Amino acid sequence: MKYWGKKEKLFKYVDGVRQFFPMVEEQLDAISRIIEKYNIPIKNFLDLGCGDGFLGNFIHRLYPTSHGVFLDCSKEMILKAQNKAFRSDSEYIVQDFGEGDWYRAINSVRTFDLIISGYSIHDIENDKKRRLYRDIYQLINPSGIFLNLEHVKSSSPAIEEIFNELFLEGMSDYQDHIGDSKTMEEIKHMYHDPQHKILNRLEYVELQCKWLSDIGFKEVDCYLKIFELALFGGIKS
């Protein structure tokens, strides 16, 4: 199915599982366009740091016959992903990709046409990021693609402030959507919780793209950037 035939499914999916990240429609739209343009036959994919399976289930809806592997370090999130599963034959793995041999936990598939990750890799240190990107390169089939939808470092304090304001608005809209009447002050307290912020190990998207190029990825680019949110990746030629 060509891109424009998929677009109706794309927006119906977003409406059904609205997330608090800002501009979700634009992010998924870009992912769909990129995969379509490179004409990659998605027979299998890995959702790395899958959380509740939001991205992986989106890929499944675009490519219903594909086999999905969902991997996350949190057992709770894997259970949520299983509960929201699009297909019953998907594989769900509790594994920390920050560990050096994380990929040994994958049993059903050894290489992938697509590896996708959403807002997850920023939690590990830079040396582990670079090692993980090397692992990802080895796990991708020739002509396969890696797409990382990620939280990245701002270029200035002003850009960081704009992003924070945008994200808080998204959180507020999401709370209204689910019927939770939290005040903006309560939402700000949640967002600025030091225990949450300390997990962020953000890096500039430009540097991460250079790492991918150095590893061997081709046509590396930042396809979409919204202040501290970036979609970047590359092709394994």
Cβ atoms 50, 91 nearer than 8 A: no
3-state secondary structure of 97: coil
Mean pLDDT score, 85-106? 91
Tell me the CATH number at 151: 3.40.50.150
Give the count of domains, the chain: 2
- pLDDT level of residue 109 (50, 70, 90 thresholds): confident
**Would you say residue 63 has pLDDT above 80?**
yes
- pLDDT level of residue 237 (50, 70, 90 thresholds): confident
**Would you say residue 158 has pLDDT above 70?**
yes
Pull the structure tokens for residue 216: 């061997």
Q: What does the mean pLDDT of the chain come to?
A: 86
Pull the structure tokens for residue 209: 């793209």
**CA dist., res. 185 & res. 172, Å (int):** 10
The predicted pLDDT at position 183 comes to 73
Per-residue model confidence as pLDDT tens digits over 2-37: 444 455 555 454 444 445 577 788 899 999 999 999
- Which conformational region is residue 227 in: left (phi greater than 0), alpha (psi within -120 to 50 degrees), or beta? left
Specify the pairing of strand 218-226 against strand 112-118: unpaired
Let me know whether 49 and 135 are in one domain.
yes
Let me know whether 116 and 165 are in one domain.
no
Let me know whether 8 and 123 are in one domain.
yes
The pTM is what?
0.86
Structural domain including 122 reads 3-155+202-235
- Between 1-5, 129-133, 189-193, the lowest mean confidence (pLDDT) is in 1-5
**Would you say residue 198 has pLDDT above 70?**
no
